[in-house]
Amino acid sequence: MLDGFADDGTPRLRPAAGPVTLRQLLSHSAGYSYEFWNADYTRMCKGLGIAALPGSHEELARIPLLFDPGTAWNYGISTDIVGHAITAVTGRDLGEYLRDEITDPLGMADTTWSLTDAQRLRVAGTHQRQPDGTLVSTSRPPAKGPGFLAGGGGLLGTAADYLRFLRMLLNGGTLDGATILRPETVAAMGRNQLGAIAVTPMRTAMPMLSFDVDLFPGTTPGWSLAFLTNPAPGPHGRPAGSLAWAGLLNTYYWLDPANGLAGVVMTQSFPFADPKALALLAALEQGTYAGR
């Protein structure tokens, strides 16, 4: 793992104090990061001559930890490693596994790594927010093949499909006769797994891709086996005990198990945590809880 930098900028490495566990990977306390929110991570990868955003399992395996497992929280490539673990345990390609075990049973027909020609025509364009507040198109044709199937990103889908996934979770792991998860597994996914470890704000290291990220200012959220958890009520109606997370292109969702509610906002724009995208999320949340 990283143990600082030498005077010439070379990363210093040492053995980690303990092994990485699956629970730490799922709760983002294993020691990994993303280049978008950690300058030391980018500096380390550059100094070691390795890819900061891995494009293969081999590249993934070369990335050192930033801190000893289980000692801090840092959002990063942990979910990519979980995807690799699924492939290793099941012997199945990750895309095949997700299709057979999740998306097909739930009827999520538009969620895939491998687009059909018809789906490619429906892919939303991407935009970059400018300093004056305008949006400029940065669209590129979607890749013809899925490339590296990373557990942390790369799937394409629709808001309607994702709502089906969230409804399954609200229903204890079952939707329309398809059982994806056991109720006790869903319950475990909603419990904070970090103990005294704090989920800290994510400070941008790449302003073109992300603003600073603090989705619950003034509070200390937790992290479950899958979601950001809020121990206090949110400012727009979301009660304590709700679950949420987001995607880099300003896609957001929340789950409210207490009220049986879920919401999804999807855009295709950078930087992440765009104030206008967050205002849209807040408006949806306020409208959802109005009068309740």
105-289: which CATH topology? Beta-lactamase (3.40.710)
DSSP state of 30: S
Residues of the chain with CATH 3.40.710.10: 105-289
Burial of 258 (0-12, 13-18, 19+ CB in 10 A): exposed
Closest Cα to residue 14, out of 6, 29, 2, 4?
A: 2
- How long a stretch of residues is the chain? 292
Long-range own/partner contacts, residues 52-61 (CB < 8 A, 24 or more apart): 53/77, 54/80, 54/148, 54/150, 55/147, 55/148, 56/148, 57/84, 57/148, 60/84
Residue 10: is it exposed, middle or buried by C-beta count within 10 angstroms (0-12/13-18/19+)?
A: exposed
195-248: pLDDT as tens digits:
999 999 999 999 999 999 998 888 889 999 999 999 999 989 999 999 999 999
* This model's pTM is above 0.85: yes
Q: What is the rounded (10 degree) CA torsion for 121, 152, 41, 19?
A: -160
Residue 67: exposure state from Cβ atoms within 10 A (0-12, 13-18, ≥19): buried
Q: How many CB atoms within 10 Å of residue 204?
A: 18
- Measured between alpha carbons, how far is 39 from 55 in angstroms, rounded to an integer? 20
The rounded distance, in Å, linking the Cα atoms of 261 and 186 is: 15
Tens digit of each residue's pLDDT, the chain (292 residues)? 999 999 999 999 999 999 999 999 999 999 999 999 999 999 999 999 999 999 888 999 999 999 999 999 999 999 999 999 999 999 999 999 999 999 999 999 999 988 899 999 999 999 999 999 999 999 876 666 667 788 898 899 999 999 999 999 999 999 999 999 999 999 999 999 999 999 999 999 999 999 999 988 888 899 999 999 999 999 899 999 999 999 999 999 999 999 999 999 999 999 999 999 999 999 999 999 997 7
Beta-strand ranges (E) seen in the chain are 2-5, 11-13, 127-129, 135-137, 174-175, 178-179, 222-223, 228-229, 243-247, 251-256, 261-266, 269-270
SS3 category, 185: helix
The answer to whether 164 touches 106, Cβ cutoff 8 Å, is yes
Cα dihedral 63, 68, 69, 70 sign: negative
> In Å, what is the CA distance from 38 to each residue of 41, 42, 76, 205, 257?
5, 7, 9, 6, 32
